[in-house]
Structure 1
Amino acid sequence: MRFSDVPPEQPAVPRDAATVILLRDTDEGLEVFLQRRVAAMAFAPGVTVFPGGGVDERDADASVRWTGPAASEWADWFGGTEPIARSLVCAAVREMFEESGVLLAGTDVGVIGDAARYAGERRALESRELSLAAFLAGAGLTLRADLLRPWAHWITPVQEERRYDARFFVAVLPSGQHADGATTEAASSGWQRPEDALADAEAGRSILMPPTWHTLSELTGFDTTAEVLDAERTVETIIPKLVREGDQIRVIVGDE
């Protein structure tokens, strides 16, 4: 983590980003899909995260066929303009497909089952050879915005050199689909109960950034995916503060 002890006069402009909290129900309770980023990543190397990433300028393509809440509704939930909201929803769907193989898209008869048939398109999306709009149009698919829910809005502290304006979405693993770690950005991937993921971090077996830790803590209060989807949320913008205490860096969230 590289940052200045004194907030800069001109902080770096945060890049819009989308993060997806992917959930499933199991006999052992609610589980969330997590990935440990490879050590070579410029941002958060070796850190355990939810799937997600920065918005691509092509995510704003208005030609994407879409069902579910309109961009205007997402703009109300997250704040900002309709074009940004559209880009964020498209980025959420694209990034989750690239990083986990889970595709929130469907045909006239419902959500697709196994998305492995689109493995080639997935690689092309990750390499930026293909846009989400071109992929969906070529496959005759419709983006299913109704399978997403708004959850949170985090902005990287002003002291950091690399900053993101990240909106967090919630989604449930569609029936017949499988989440994997077939991405160049993840060293490992898998499902965990939120409380187990937190225990790993507390024991030093993994590293969590504040938004991930906070979100996992929130999820421990739910038993099923239905409860999460039905939760009433008011999305408020959170910008943590970084304070140096000796050799340690303390992260302050809210009015602490």
Structure 2
Amino acid sequence: MGQEDARLRPQAVDGPPIRDAASVIVLRDTGGVPSVLMGQRGSSAAFMPDKFVFPGGAVDAEDASVPLACPLSHLCETRLSRHADPDVAPALVAAAIRELWEETGLVLGQPGVWPGPAPRGWRGFADAGFRPSAAGVHFVFRAITPPGRPRRFDARFFLVEAGSLASDPDDFSGAEDELRHLQWVPLSKARSFNLPFITEVVLAEVMAMVRNGMPPASVPFFNNLGERSEFLRIGA
């Protein structure tokens, strides 16, 4: 990697470490009145309490060993590898699929048997008869949490249409209790909810993507590694 790539690798000089994280933006009825899946974080949450967010969370070590039934697209993998370790790309997508499953009970995968024992955190997904799949998944946004926050993440946001789900999009019965009030929010009204700033920015980008089609021409990147925030674009 060149000097610019090395400079943009997440390395916290002080404060909490910067962890890789992934969020999933699930869109529904993009040809009509589009809506997006969101839930509310608990009041006692250490990070963004009471905020409405997309399903997501930190990458676990086990996510790197998860066999995807359908791999990342070449464009998605290439963009994820810019300014980052290329080996983390599959783990990021796997984490996004796992977090969607844990927080909503929705399955982004294909029916199938795992080639070996499922790692910790994935056994429920495997027991349900599915393998995770990156089919239809687009990398659409990246943001590093600014300094001074109790937790910091290098978050990648992925977009997928509800038609790619292998489960009923209205069945949240398998969800864990991390997110409350899971619901499909009309995209035009989502920004009126109690949102983190970065979620508002991502939603504005998603609205443009709905109009212009997927994949996006470039991926916005809010880089907060230095003293001054930078807004970059990750191209092909």
Give unmatched runs, 5+ long, in structure 2.
1-11, 113-117
Comparing both structures, which one devotes a greater share of its residues to helix?
1
Are the counterparts in 2 of residues 78 and 153 from structure 1 also a CA contact under 8 Å?
no
> Within 5 Å, which residues of 2 pair with 1:126-137?
130-132=120-122, 134-135=123-124, 137=126
Which amino acid is 2:65 matched to? D
**C-alpha deviations, 1:143-184, integer Å up to 9, x for none?**
211121111111000222310110000011136522437331
Q: Quick check: 95-104 or 167-176, which moved more? A: 167-176
Cα 1:222–1:145 shift into 2, 3 Å: closer
What's the secondary structure of 1:147's corresponding residue? coil
Identify the residue that residue 221 of structure 1 maps to in structure 2.
Answer: 208
Identify the residue that residue 254 of structure 1 maps to in structure 2.
Answer: 231
User: How big is the alpha-carbon RMSD for the aligned residues of Structure 1 and Structure 2?
Assistant: 3.2
Cα 1:11–1:102 shift into 2, 3 Å: same
Are the counterparts in 1 of residues 80 and 139 from structure 2 also a CA contact under 8 Å?
yes
Are 2:189 and 1:196 aligned?
Answer: yes
Which amino acid is 1:254 matched to? F
Are 2:25 and 1:29 aligned?
Answer: no
Which amino acid is 2:148 matched to? Q
TM superposition score normalised by structure 1: 0.70
Cα 1:13–1:138 shift into 2, 3 Å: same
Identify the residue that residue 111 of structure 1 maps to in structure 2.
Answer: none
Which amino acid is 1:158 matched to? P
Q: Which structure's CA Rg is the greater one?
A: 1
> Could you tell me which of 94, 100, 105 is aligned with 1:90?
94
**How many angstroms does 1:222 deviate by?**
5.2
**C-alpha deviations, 1:30-77, integer Å up to 9, x for none?**
111111111111111100101101111111115x2421326x764421
**C-alpha deviations, 1:106-162, integer Å up to 9, x for none?**
136xxxxxxxxxxxxxxxx9xxx9432x44555553321112111111100022231
Cα 1:191–1:253 shift into 2, 3 Å: farther
User: 2: distance between equivalents of 1:222 and 1:10?
Assistant: 36
Identify the residue that residue 140 of structure 2 maps to in structure 1.
Answer: 151
**How many angstroms does 1:233 deviate by?**
3.5
**C-alpha deviations, 1:66-99, integer Å up to 9, x for none?**
21326x7644212323431121111000100111
**C-alpha deviations, 1:191-229, integer Å up to 9, x for none?**
11222111x2xxxxx3211221011122333557xx54x
Are the counterparts in 1 of residues 143 and 222 from structure 2 also a CA contact under 8 Å?
yes
For this pair of structures, how many residues does the alignment match? 210
Which amino acid is 1:163 matched to? R
Are the counterparts in 2 of residues 102 and 173 from structure 1 also a CA contact under 8 Å?
no
Are 2:158 and 1:169 aligned?
Answer: yes
Cα 1:221–1:9 shift into 2, 3 Å: closer
Are the counterparts in 2 of residues 194 and 217 from structure 1 also a CA contact under 8 Å?
no
Give unmatched runs, 5+ long, in structure 1.
1-7, 109-124, 201-205, 244-251
> Could you tell me which of 61, 66, 79 is aligned with 1:77?
79
User: 2: distance between equivalents of 1:36 and 1:49?
Assistant: 6
Cα 1:81–1:66 shift into 2, 3 Å: farther
Which amino acid is 1:154 matched to? A
